[in-house]
Amino acid sequence: MPKADEPNDKALQSLDARLDAFEAKKAAEKPVRAEHEKSSQDGYRLLADLIGGVLVGLGFGWLLDQLAHTAPWGMVGGLLIGMGASIFGVVRKAMQLSAQASAEAPEGQAGEDTGGGSTAPKQKRD
């Protein structure tokens, strides 16, 4: 029988096995979590670009109204220009992100349908 101050080999081996299993599980989950975090970061960046463009357009429109005394037409024009510029920038960036994701996708997943369409089976055309 082991003394109280001597380590129990079976308990240590069991602990080592559980620790190795836990570390392997965490290592397998890490790439999936990193991809989700990158996607949410990209989404927040696109949202910030959209809101920022509108606010900058409103700011320039307000400044034009103050300098040229054309209220409210400067803000209306600035809003429209800011919206147009920010939507253009967001769509362009989203297309770049989509192309990058398609290039990084594994061979089997590049052409897969991600949903949103019909669930009917595809028919062959003659």
How confident is the model over 16-47, as pLDDT tens digits?
Answer: 899 899 888 887 777 766 777 888 899 999 99
Structure tokens at 7: 């380590």
The pLDDT score that the predictor gives to residue 115 is: 53
With cut-offs at 50, 70 and 90, classify the pLDDT of residue 4.
low
Contact 76, 57 (CB under 8 A): no
The pLDDT score that the predictor gives to residue 12 is: 83
For residue 51, what are the contacts with CB-CB under 8 A and spacing of at least 6? 86
Angle at 29 between CA 12 and CA 111, to 5 degrees: 150
Give the mean pLDDT of 117-121.
Answer: 56
pTM: 0.58
d(CA 24, CA 9) in angstroms, rounded, equals: 22
The pLDDT score that the predictor gives to residue 29 is: 74
**DSSP-based three-state secondary structure for 3:** coil
Distance set, CA 108 to CA 40, 86, 112, 115 (Å): 24, 35, 8, 16
Using the predicted structure, report yes or no on whether residue 117 has a pLDDT greater than 60: no
**Domain map (residue ranges) of the chain:** 41-101
d(CA 112, CA 95) in angstroms, rounded, equals: 18
**66-107 confidence digits (pLDDT tens):** 999 998 999 999 999 999 999 999 999 999 999 988 888 776
Contact 46, 87 (CB under 8 A): no
